[in-house]
Structure 1
């Protein structure tokens, strides 16, 4: 058992009924770190994990909120804090179970091999967006922010078109396929995609730093096992901190 797994075992009491299966629904923001760490969690605890995916916010059947409202069962959700707030409003989250796992700022990306524009300040970002013409973002928290805050603030001409795709993976595919020339999204989603390259972070005054948070669903079938997973993802072990860093993320401050 690794040092990380040993620490979790000490933090969380053993499950009385032995190994269980838990169900997780996760958005794209923390997905790379989760995939890196999940095998160790299953190996060290004997708990099996079934993983589904969904958008933190937005409309339509691909959102976590829609899935839970329409009968999809889950023990744990991992999504942006903004999306979690709406699940709390729906009464779908167990009180006191939330844990902030990592933060991710917004960045821009281009197709691999394309020229990387300067986006270091508002003027440079505005020029990059105008030159790109076609821009894509996920329709979740980050895309809504780009649409409602970034574009109006930069007073962009009508020649700049923003397309919101249901998921970050679909936004990356649109960029790879040439349907867009620039993509904006959380660093943690952009760095895990092949065929695209991160240009840099959005300027500080246009930045949105999202906190990706885990919580236990109110009607969870295996709440004790769910808590063990959240504890596992919350420890500051070297292996987990390295995975967070690889994803362009940081632990929440304060």
Structure 2
């Protein structure tokens, strides 16, 4: 067992009554921005705790049936939800997630991709980003937090809303980079952690900080969770200092503590 796994297993054991960690099948709903980190860290938690993780993916908001709020509205069971912080806060306000369970996980910034083989565009400054977007035949962005910002605020900040309106498309549910990789769109904008895992694209970089939007990802425990104690252990692990190297490797930034 790796050192990190041993430490985690010890922490889990002493946190349970009688020092015995009881296995549970945790149902986890996670949205795109933290998914790459979760896919690396989840198996480590499962191996050390003897719990199993049953995971479904879906955006933090939007009209898609797969969106986490819509899943909960239909009564789908969940022990943990991982999503955009302000969308989680709305679920807390509605009484669907326990307020005292909220844990902040990571910050996510928006980046840009083009199809692999295409020249890598310059987006190092606001002026360069504006020039790149104006030159694009088509621009794709997500139906979650980053795409809402791109469509409603970024284009306006750059003064190109009128020009980009007929060329911009909000992509539901699937990764934006996947439609860029197929050549359906020339440029794709989404959170970096959702762009990097997709093959067939070239990552141009993060948006300049003066027009960047930082999305805080957080997690919580739904009020009807069947395994709240084990869910809390998972959340504590995902936010722990020991895993921040893995979190950062997926394109996310650690939350200042």
Please tell me the TM-score bracket, short chain as reference.
over 0.9
Within a 5 Å distance, the mapping from 1:31-42 to structure 2 comes to 31-42=35-46
* CA positional deviation for 1:17: 7.7
Within a 5 Å distance, the mapping from 1:58-77 to structure 2 comes to 58-77=62-81
Give the TM-score, by structure 2 length: 0.92
* RMSD between superposed Cα atoms in Å: 1.7
Paired with 2:221 and 2:171, the residues of 1 have a C-alpha distance of: 27
Q: Deviations over 1:56-95 (max 9, x none)?
A: 1222312100110011110100011122122112211112
Paired with 1:127 and 1:211, the residues of 2 have a C-alpha distance of: 28
Distance 1:77-1:226 versus aligned 2 partners, 3 A rule: same
Counterpart of 2:245 in structure 1 is 242
SS at match of 2:141: strand
SS at match of 1:86: helix
Counterpart of 1:183 in structure 2 is 188
SS at match of 1:108: strand
Unmatched 5+ residue regions in structure 1?
none
The answer to whether residue 168 in structure 2 is matched with residue 162 in structure 1 is yes
Counterpart of 1:2 in structure 2 is 2
Q: Deviations over 1:32-76 (max 9, x none)?
A: 111111221111101111000110122231210011001111010
* CA positional deviation for 1:22: 0.8
Cα pair 1:21 1:47 within 8 Å, conserved: yes
Higher helix share: 2
Paired with 1:145 and 1:193, the residues of 2 have a C-alpha distance of: 22
Cα pair 1:82 1:141 within 8 Å, conserved: no
SS at match of 2:213: coil
Distance 1:203-1:123 versus aligned 2 partners, 3 A rule: same
Within a 5 Å distance, the mapping from 1:48-59 to structure 2 comes to 48-59=52-63
Residue from 70, 73, 85 that aligns with 1:81? 85
Paired with 1:100 and 1:74, the residues of 2 have a C-alpha distance of: 18
SS at match of 1:199: strand
Counterpart of 2:149 in structure 1 is 145
SS at match of 1:51: strand
SS at match of 1:185: strand
Paired with 2:142 and 2:4, the residues of 1 have a C-alpha distance of: 33
Distance 1:96-1:4 versus aligned 2 partners, 3 A rule: farther
* CA positional deviation for 1:168: 4.8
Paired with 1:100 and 1:168, the residues of 2 have a C-alpha distance of: 25
Cα pair 2:21 2:49 within 8 Å, conserved: no
Cα pair 1:28 1:168 within 8 Å, conserved: no
Counterpart of 1:119 in structure 2 is 123
Residue from 192, 195, 199 that aligns with 1:194? 199
Give the TM-score, by structure 1 length: 0.93
